[in-house]
Structure 1
Amino acid sequence: MTEHTWYLLKALILGVVEGFTEFIPVSSTAHLLLIGEWIGFDSGDAKVFEVVIQFGSILAVVWIFRHRIWQLIWGTYRRERTEVAFARNLIIAFLPAAIIGALAIQYIKMLFHHPGIFVVTLILGGLIMLWVERKPQFAKFADSGSRSDGGTDKRRSTQALEEISWKQALAVGCAQCIAMVPGTSRSGATIIGGMLAGIERKTATEFSFFLAVPTMLGATVYDLYRHGSALSGEQTSAILIGFVAAFFSALVLVKALLLFIAKHTYRPFAWYRIALGIVVLIWLSLGG
């Protein structure tokens, strides 16, 4: 196997990793950078590879929800009240990260070169997820309408995308800003942020999916605009392979996740984050 072929195979591996981790709250960026480090994949200082292939996963969401997205576009054009409100909420949730990202992207990317930050963000994020899932209104399966202790919760969570208020959308948008810190997880921050804002688990997950589309499209276009001319032919080939791999693996993951959260909480992912954070800590302690 030639060095070039091996490089492209690594890109394929990372594309699959991206697709399987983008929409679960375990931080796809942490997995891409850590696994990339372990297998010796050099994506360059600008980290364009990690950003661009994430949009492959986002396109999988566009495909899966294509009918709902078309309904949103057509309904907004026709000025249907519920669709206009949904579109408004996506814009409100998108703007905080767009503004902060544009102003601080250089400082944010500096954090990508410090693996130690993943120890903190992975473990702390896992602990926060466990805390949120223990709150009475979330200590139940999605759509079950009953608490784990057999009682009823007087606080009703927002059950549908169309019911989300602009204040809840803004809360999700602010939570997404936190996810700019590597290892935090964009999906994790927006889902948990939505749940804390009073949105039901499955609905918060779906809103996170839709919000990912403009967010990652913006990040991809911005990164390619700034660094695209500096990419080598080998890096471009790697991005294309990783992009396609991320798309197909995300198709599988998103459908599986929606089935999973219909009957389970996010606690398994929280424990996984904590375990991974400990593994990274041990690896760094051993001189990794």
Structure 2
Amino acid sequence: MEIEIIKAIVLGIVEGITEWLPISSTGHMILVDEFIKMKVTPEFLEMFLVVIQLGAILAVVVIYWRRLIPTSKKTWIMWVKIIVACVPAAVVGLLLDDVLNAWFYNYQTVAIMLILFGILFIVIENRNKSAVPKVNSIDDLTYKQALIIGVFQLIAAVFPGTSRSGATILGGLLIGVSRTAAAEFTFFLAIPVMFGASLLKLVKFGMHFTGEESMLLLNGMVVAFLVSMAAIKFLMSYIKKHDFKVFGWYRIVLGVIVLGYFGVKIFL
């Protein structure tokens, strides 16, 4: 049991870091699972890898509590924009969740999307090098711009390895949103999206846990929360002085590693 809890803690650490940095939590989870396979049922593992995100969501709520409480007209408008951006991914997720998992949840898709979006980050940041952002805060986002960012989130929902945060940040940069505003909107978008995805997985799993399963899930969520607190603060501090190109290069390297590792594994 102790070994399995350690594995859950490691996965919680990976989730807490990779959920918010634009480097794909799925890509990392696939690799980590190869080396520290949890001795649980496939159904529980599928649910666990999604539901530990609830810990990561709680970190956003704690850090941005005052911004998120709908006590003013400005905050209510922000939440409407968030809902607008969530619609594309929510509709497709509810209708096609199992189908998309069957088609695209594989190392080839993950690796290709890691590399593709890594290249896009580098290209777009180079293009934006001397550009002045048109939108510097979430308050300045139009509903149309929010929907465009939501379409990028849909891409991440369909193709594992894209990275939800990576896709939405990239979408924001493409339409002239500042790095800080794009990152914050990405964090806020995660709240309804990840709550919805977690609820869907819990319902499909059946809400029936053994004592060991409950301990594993709780440990993963708590660790994901603590690590997410640090990851979010790091990212917001980092992008005040730097661009996202380092994450682009990291994604490319990780994508090549994923392709190489599983490619070699097939032939061995």
Aligning the two structures, in what range does the TM-score lie when normalised by the shorter sequence?
over 0.9
Unmatched 5+ stretches in structure 1: 140-146, 148-152
Match of 1:24 in 2: 21
How far 1:228 sits from its partner (Å)? 3.4
By how many angstroms is 1:254 displaced?
A: 0.6
Residue of structure 1 equivalent to 2:138: 161
Structure 2 residue 170 is the aligned partner of structure 1 residue 170: no
Instruction: Tell me if the contact between 1:111 and 1:117 (Cα under 8 Å) persists in the aligned partners.
Output: no
SS at match of 1:24: coil
Cross-structure match for 1:49: 48
Aligned to 2:110: 118
Aligned match of 2:161: 183
* Residue deviations 1:84-130 (CA, integer Å, cap 9, x gap): 32121111001111111000100122257522222211111101111
Aligned-pair identity (%): 38
Deviation at 1:282, TM superposition (A): 1.4
4+ residue runs of structure 1 moved beyond 6 angstroms? none
Q: Secondary structure at the match of 1:134?
A: helix
Deviation string, structure 1 residues 210-260 (Cα, Å, up to 9, x no partner): 111111011111111121335443232211110000000000111111000
Deviation at 1:45, TM superposition (A): 3.2
Shift of 1:134: 1.3
Whichever of the two has the greater Rg, that structure is 1
Please report how far the alpha carbon of residue 201 of structure 1 lies from its aligned counterpart in structure 2 after TM superposition: 1.2
Deviations 1:163-200 (A, max 9, x none): 10001000011110111121110000011111112211
Gaps in structure 2 of 5+ consecutive residues: none
Question: What secondary structure sits across from 2:52 in the alignment?
Answer: helix
- Return the TM-score normalized by structure 1: 0.87
Report how many residues are paired. 263
- For 2:212, what is the secondary structure of its paired residue? helix
SS of the aligned residue for 2:199 comes to helix
Q: Does 1:63 align with 2:62?
A: yes
Shifted more, 278-287 versus 178-187: the winner is 278-287
Higher helix share: 2
| Contact 2:114–2:254 (8 Å) recurs in 1 | yes
The reply on whether 1:285 has 2:251 as its aligned counterpart is: no
TM-score scaled to structure 2, two decimals?
0.93
* Residue in structure 1 matched with residue 30 of structure 2 by the alignment: 33
